[in-house]
Structure 1
């Protein structure tokens, strides 16, 4: 993935829509999500390496609206050992 890869697949979803649906969707999504158009555009442009993130509740709403399974909105798979396994390993250094 390049440095310009978006963290979330929002644009990927939107760009698959016909033009008239794209325009309507860009108008109504901020209202449905309870955010400003500017915030919506900021969400769309978050890059993979950015520290900025979308609040979890909004991510879940995006996934439901886009008919995605949980975790599919992100362009990166998060991997982590289960907590029980980490606890068996002993103290974790930070």
Structure 2
């Protein structure tokens, strides 16, 4: 599911991660990826991923060296404890971190 900013001319509110809250609650059997973890709502997506075991962070739109500091901090701290590396979709398996 697209979260964050969009280059398309469409309402920005459609990219708010909070909209995923009802979806992941309603469909606990599905694993859902919040794609393009980035400004302006990355912290909101982090909070939801912490809350829901079936919600993953997808950081595929940007190379790791361009991730927001809070995303990097989340992955290095809470992400390691709560999410594990299996819950974070990386940019590329060949990208150096």
* Larger radius of gyration between Structure 1 and Structure 2: 1
TM-score, with structure 1 as normaliser: 0.28
* Higher strand content, 1 or 2: 2
* Greater RCO, CA 8 A, separation 6+: 1
